[in-house]
Amino acid sequence: MGAATGIGSLPGTDIAEAQRIVLGELAALPHLPELPARGPGADLIGRTAGLLVELPVELYAARWRVAPRPGKDLRRARDLMERDLDQLAEQAEEYAGTIKIQAGGPLTLAASLELPIGGRMLRDPGAVRDLAGSLAEGLRGHVEAVIRRLPRASVLLQLDEPSLPTVLAGRVPTESGLGTYRAVESETARALLHGVIEAAGVPTVVHCCASDVPLELIRSAGAVGVALDLSRVTELDPLGEALDAGLGLLAGAVPTSPPPAAGAPTSAQVADRVRGLWDRLGFPRAQLAEQVVVTPACGLAGATPAYARAVLAACRDAGRRLAEV
């Protein structure tokens, strides 16, 4: 009730400081911070690829691709994750609430990782199935690693799927830029997502900050919630139907960078924005804080440290305001 959380990324390279900020500002629903500024292996794709089982990866021409054997790039990604989890255990050993962890989803990984022979994994349906299976096994182990370190906590998994709409629409460009990869059928995408969610074994939300998020696909794949950028929501009916069916909403209500000559919005402004959407959807106010978590619109890696902290504080206080209604 009345919780807020972050989407994932924060500015800077100091994981200890990032975790102190998250645990301090988002005590009701903290997340494991991601710090892409640390370089390769701390980015969304490299960080998630480090979790894959029996599917090593490497950097080639600044892109992640499947490798014949584990190497230094993979070791770096895994070392960064291990360091983050150890730091989490040190700072939150007695934490007994829910903690959110994030990883790339199978469709976004397939649209980003390259095959050894060139081209995205998306070009080979068999490779995509293998990738999803490897990710499912890796996420199961990752969840277990978090629980070992925080035995009193429960885990909420967030699958980041920024590329999901373009994969479904067949809009992922080939390397030449002259064509696109064949669209993945909705049923295939649903099955891939469902397999990963089921294997993880914990409640899972799917994050996608596009304007054409496939809400019914996400709900029917087994997700308990969806994380959206409210500024990208153009059609209210699909969102209303998904929420009416019980899907939770992580409402991205604060921009990731301030408008010119403006700072972070106040918690009252953030709460009003979420409340306004809820009213337009026609749901009772009493249900709002039970079904909605307030978040930034997306990751905050590109923000200044001061703005990022102000955004998290505004989300936290907005969540509390919503619970008071």
Range of the domain at 116: 39-83+97-223
The whole-model pTM stands at 0.97
What is d(CA 299, CA 160) in angstroms, rounded to the nearest whole number?
11
* Domain finish residue from 223, 254, 276: 223
My answer on whether 108 and 45 are in the same domain is: yes
pLDDT in tens, 96-106: 999 999 999 99
31 and 43, same domain (yes or no): no
d(CA 179, CA 194): 29
**Per-residue pLDDT tens over the stretch 257-282:** 887 767 889 999 999 999 999 999 99
Let me know whether 47 and 22 are in one domain. Answer: no
Separation between Cα atoms, residue 263 and residue 280, nearest integer Å: 27
pLDDT at 241: 97
Q: Are residues 295 and 159 both part of a single domain?
A: no
Residue 236 lies inside a defined structural domain of this protein: no
pLDDT at 325 over 70: no
Residue 246 contacts residue 225 (beta carbons within 8 Å): no
154 within domain boundaries: yes
Which pLDDT tens digit goes with each residue over 286-308? 999 999 999 999 999 999 999 99
Helices (H), 224-304: 236-244, 267-281, 285-291
Same domain, 16 and 44: no
Total structural domains in the chain?
Answer: 2
The 10s digit of each residue's pLDDT in 187-244 is 999 999 999 999 999 999 999 999 899 999 999 999 999 999 999 999 999 999 999 9
76 and 219, same domain (yes or no)? yes
Asked whether residue 263 is domain-assigned, the answer is yes
pLDDT of residue 225: 98
> 173, 202, 206, 176: which is closest to 189 by C-alpha?
206
d(CA 204, CA 232): 22
Do 303 and 193 sit in the same domain of this protein? no
| Residue 14 pLDDT > 90 | yes
**Based on the domain organization, do 282 and 261 belong to the same domain?**
yes
